Chains A and B, each alone.
Chain A
């Protein structure tokens, strides 16, 4: 019950901000933070719970973005349907990729996921209807009532998607699915031996993870009014999706949220005040520092503090 109340507060807060604040740039930047919450939460379902490091975030994210863009160009599909279509396509990609690659161990799986990104990017570079390497310009439709500005609308939509993603992650974590995934992460052989359907669980996690990443990508073409392959399939999304849970903590669904808020907000501030490169550098350094010194993330560090009980 507490969880759902927090969700309602978060969503309500987002709507309130949209009604009160005037400066559009806040929503422009805030959208990115919310998007990374979704990406980090999605990544953690496979990466954190099951322990399979996935560098393929841009493939699923990009497929979701392009699905939305192409459907908008062809049929002027409304945003809600774009999101559903993106979820379906990226979910299918997750299913297929999972079946093909989840039999591979550790690093081979990780490299195979990078392969997925490059292959998806190459496919879209060669698809002229989707703009090829040149890219596609898109004119936004007017925002649906009661929103007066499209960016504010996207901000609230992404807030809703973040809430949904976290709810799904929470459900998986606390159910038998989560137990099975944790068993796989701790020792896959032991899990197999005790009858856990490891492949089915892993593929399920990969599908859900992929679908959520696609959902995070769907509003992107409308956000920028432009889409092109190199930036859409950029490995920087992989790094952000991976670093946020590593920094926040991978064991609990709040970890990715925490990590994403910290990392993405920091990035937005640095980009505006200093430079884009310094922001990527900081992400890299933070990733290395946390991976080396605090493998359980911030949540792990918090657990270590002896909280006084009165």
Chain B
């Protein structure tokens, strides 16, 4: 296949749109793993769960993105519950968040995945909306609207979260707990409650991310396995704890994947995220903006 500049341009544009989407999907993990050090392998599974919840609610006529937003408070509570359980069982007992913590979350991810299969079956699910199926014509390029909508919502989500962490009191407390927990304790704040709150927020983003996921394409219960690679790749490349880094890393992943897809075909694309991850771990483990 000959190399074409037009195709490259289109690939980059798609890569940017997709990259923002990947960043939005990973931002929850940036908080739970990047800031709180929780080995949250089940984050992609929660996102897929969010997709199915969106699908379920959207069947009653609600726009899928709106459905994702509406579900956020419920997911927040779910996140708080999960963290509370994790804290009581693992962190409090002083076990290093290593062997057992990871195994625990892996088990949770598995239970969510199989639970979805038992309830909904293995078939793909899609949603319908006014912007799904149409595209925008930009010169010679035609960009499907669903990508543009996902891109827009992703940007809003990330901007919102970054502002929250930087400007509000609780937001800054979350960053403080990540940087220096003993100091925070000395100042009289309860780090556990703050971490709980943070984990809840991270899980709430999974709800909206799930809505975006099902807008972009069909979902099936096994999709979380594809996204473990992408989300951890983004978070590690960003550098643990950096929100702006997440956006940059997402864009890098999106564009790289898009170009590999164009040049080498769809059979190599799954390896891009993980290849990038291994590269970062080998060359610069602290990522782009790591602490």
- Chain A interface (Cβ < 8 Å from any Cβ of B): 47, 51, 53, 55, 100-101, 104-108, 110-112, 114-115, 118-119, 121-123, 125-126, 132-133, 235, 239, 242-243, 246, 277-278, 280-281, 283-285, 287-288, 291-292, 295
Q: CB-defined interface of B99-117 with A at 8 Å, one 1/0 digit per residue?
A: 1111110111011001101
Cβ proximity bits B106-143 to A, threshold 8 Å, 1 near / 0 not: 11101100110110000000000000000000000000
Which of B98, B103, B228, B281 sits near A112, CB closer than 8 Å?
B281
Beyond A53-B99, A287-B106, is A133–B271 a contact (Cβ under 8 Å)? no
Stretch of B72-80, B179-187, B194-202, B272-280 on the interface side: B272-280
Taken together as a complex, chains A and B put the C-alpha atoms of A242 and B270 apart, in Å, by: 24
Given contacts A108-B281, A110-B39, A126-B268, is CB(A284)–CB(B114) below 8 Å?
yes
Residues of B within 8 A of A243 (CB): 107
Q: In chain B between 231 and 249, which residues have their CB closer than 8 angstroms to a CB of chain A?
A: 232, 236
Q: Which residue of A lies closest to B104 (CB)?
A: A291
Max chain B C-beta neighbours (<10 A), residue from A51, A115, A121, A235: A115
11 A-B residue pairs with Cβ-Cβ distance under 8 Å, sorted by A, are: A106-B39, A106-B97, A107-B98, A111-B228, A115-B229, A278-B118, A285-B107, A285-B111, A291-B107, A292-B89, A295-B95
Q: Which of A104, A281, A283, A295 contacts B118 (CB 8 A)?
A: A281
Query: Inside 8 A of B97's CB, which chain A residues have their CB?
Result: 106-107
| B114 in complex: contacting residue of A100, A133, A280, A292, CB < 8 Å | A280
Interface SS majority for chain B: helix
Cβ–Cβ < 8 Å partners of A292 in chain B: 89, 104
Query: Would you call A122 and B268 a contact (CB within 8 A)?
Result: yes
Instruction: Tell me which residues across on chain A come within 8 A of B104, comparing CB atoms.
Output: 288, 291-292
Among candidates A53, A111, A287, residue contacting B110 with C-beta atoms closer than 8 Å:
A287
Contacting residues, chain A, for B160 (C-beta < 8 A): none
Q: Are A239 and B274 in contact (CB under 8 A)?
A: no
Closest residue of chain B to A100, judged by CB? B282
| A295-B229 in contact (CB<8A) | no
Q: Is the CB of B274 within 8 A of A118?
A: yes
User: Which residues of the partner chain A approach B103 to less than 8 Å between Cβ atoms?
Assistant: 53, 242, 246, 287, 291
Contacts A108-B281, A118-B229, A242-B103; A277 near B114 (Cβ below 8 A): yes
Q: Is the CB of A281 within 8 A of B107?
A: no
- The residues of B that contact A277 with a CB separation of less than 8 Å are 114, 117-118
CB atoms of B114 and A288 under 8 A apart: no
Number of A-B contacts (CB under 8 A): 112
Instruction: In the A-B complex, list the 7 residue pairs whose CB atoms are closest, starting with the nearest.
Output: A284-B110, A115-B274, A288-B107, A106-B98, A122-B271, A287-B107, A284-B111
In the assembled complex, which residues on chain A have CB atoms less than 8 Å from the CB atom of B39?
106-107, 110
B96 within 8 A of A: yes
Contact among B110, B236, B277, B278 for A280, CB-based, below 8 A:
B110
Q: Which size class do B's interface residues fall under?
A: 35 or more
B49–chain A nearest beta-carbon distance, Å: 14
A154 to B225, CA, bound (A): 32
Contact assessment for A118 and B270 in the assembled complex, using a CB-CB cutoff below 8 Å: yes
Q: Which residues of B contact A55 (CB under 8 A)?
A: 106
CA distance in complex: A125, B228 (Å)? 20
**B267 A283 Cβ-Cβ under 8 A:** no
Complex: A104 Cα to B281 Cα, angstroms: 8
Which residues on A sit within 8 Å (CB–CB) of B282?
A: 100
- Identify which of B118, B267, B271, B277 contacts A111 (C-beta below 8 A): B277
Would A281 and B115 count as touching, CB distance under 8 A?
Answer: yes
B100 near A118 with CB under 8 A, answer no
- Given the contacts A118-B229, A284-B114, A107 and B102 also touching, CB distance less than 8 Å: yes
**Residue of A whose beta carbon sits closest to that of B271:** A122
Given contacts A118-B274, A277-B114, contact A51 B98 (CB under 8 A): yes
Alpha-carbon separation in the docked complex, A246 to B277 (Å): 28
- Name 19 extra pairs, CB < 8 A, besides A242-B103, A281-B115: A51-B98, A53-B103, A100-B282, A104-B285, A114-B229, A118-B274, A121-B270, A122-B270, A126-B268, A277-B118, A278-B118, A280-B110, A281-B114, A284-B107, A284-B108, A287-B107, A291-B104, A295-B95, A295-B100
Of residues 28 through 71 on chain B, the ones whose CB sits less than 8 Å from some CB of chain A are 33, 39, 41
CB-CB under 8 A from A281, the residues of chain B are 110-111, 114-115, 118
Chain A residues, CB < 8 A from B102:
53, 106-107, 110
Distance A119 CA – B108 CA, assembled complex (angstroms): 24
Complex Cα spacing A292 to B87, Å: 11
Q: Give CA–CA (A110, B101) in the complex, Å.
A: 11
Question: Which of A105, A111, A292 is the most central at the interface, judged by chain B CB atoms within 10 Å of its CB?
Answer: A111
Does the CB pair B271–A119 fall under 8 Å? Answer: yes
Q: Cα distance A125–B266 when bound, in Å? A: 11
Q: How far is the CB of B27 from chain A (nearest CB, A)?
A: 18
Separation in Å of the B253 CB from the closest CB of chain A? Answer: 13
